[in-house]
Structure 1
Amino acid sequence: MRFLFLFFIVCPAIEIGIFLLSGKLIGIFPTVLLMILTGAIGAIVAKKQGVEVYYRVQRELQYGKMPGEAILDGLCIFIGGLLLMLPGFLSDLAGACLLIPFTRSWCKPLLFKWLRGMSKNKRIIIK
């Protein structure tokens, strides 16, 4: 419940405050242009990396290996692309962290731990 409160109330309020500050510092037009630019770049990068992960999953399946790491990469890329397409500087920062392979390697263990916890609580079933 706390997570939903943060996600739906606190994060948008912070984003609005950053928008107002950015509009005051660099102007309205550059702020809007920056939001459009980060959304477009996010979509392009997510698509490129998503295709690479898709082929990596196929390769690993052909060799009889479980593509667990590649699937986690794909999930991070998907979430990162969505966050970059949302308007906001904090969501852009979080999305960029999930799209950059170096920082994504820090986020994947947290995502794996969260998915493992959901599996143990029988919220999702991993076979």
Structure 2
Amino acid sequence: MILLIIALIVLAPLVELYILIQAGAAFGALPVIAACIATAALGGLILRAQGLAALARARRDLDEGRAPVEAVVDGAFLVAAAPLLMTPGFVTDALGFALLVPPLRHAIARAALRRIRRSIDRGETRIYIARRR
């Protein structure tokens, strides 16, 4: 797993750089730079609106006495989308925008929660709860 993470850290910027260079050669530097800035700005606006909606859902769940697990996981994916959208490059933008599409984000969140629950059920994951003094 650690080798996969290291490979992604090394390869992802190289892939992004290659794609940016190819796009710059095809369309010119200014349009590519403008596209990077525009996707970051648009992503920030969408992220703000959806982040506030996720926060409202979490508050509503708490008010109704339910644990806001789905709203928190949804918010975590929105937080993950932010740096992807702010990073220059088309691959990271595509991943970031994918996390902003509610049906796709919810499907990924459900899959992640299933995997976490399975890991807890198998005893592979431990949850520690800190108590206030």
TM-score range, shorter chain: 0.7 to 0.9
Residue of structure 1 equivalent to 2:81 = 80
- Please give the alpha-carbon distance, in whole angstroms, between the structure 2 residues aligned to 1:43 and 1:126: 34
Of all paired residues, the percent bearing the same amino acid is 28
Equivalent residue for 2:124?
120
Matches of 2:92 and 2:76, distance apart in 1: 16
Summarize the alignment of residues 9-20 of structure 1 with structure 2, pairs less than 5 Å apart. 9-20=10-21
- What is the TM-score when the length of structure 1 is the normalising length? 0.88
1:2 Cα deviation from its structure 2 partner? 1.9
User: Which AA in structure 2 matches 1:82?
Assistant: P
Gaps of 5+ in 2: none
Name the Cα RMSD after superposition. 2.0
Q: Which runs of 4+ in 1 moved over 6 A?
A: none
TM-score, reference length from structure 2: 0.84
Number of aligned residue pairs: give it: 125
Q: Determine if the alignment matches structure 1 residue 63 to structure 2 residue 64.
A: yes
Larger radius of gyration: 2
Cα drift, residue 3 of structure 1: 2.7
1:5 corresponds in structure 2 to: 6
Task: Give the residue type in structure 2 aligned to 1:85.
Answer: M
Q: 2:47 aligns to what? A: 46
How many angstroms does 1:82 deviate by?
1.8
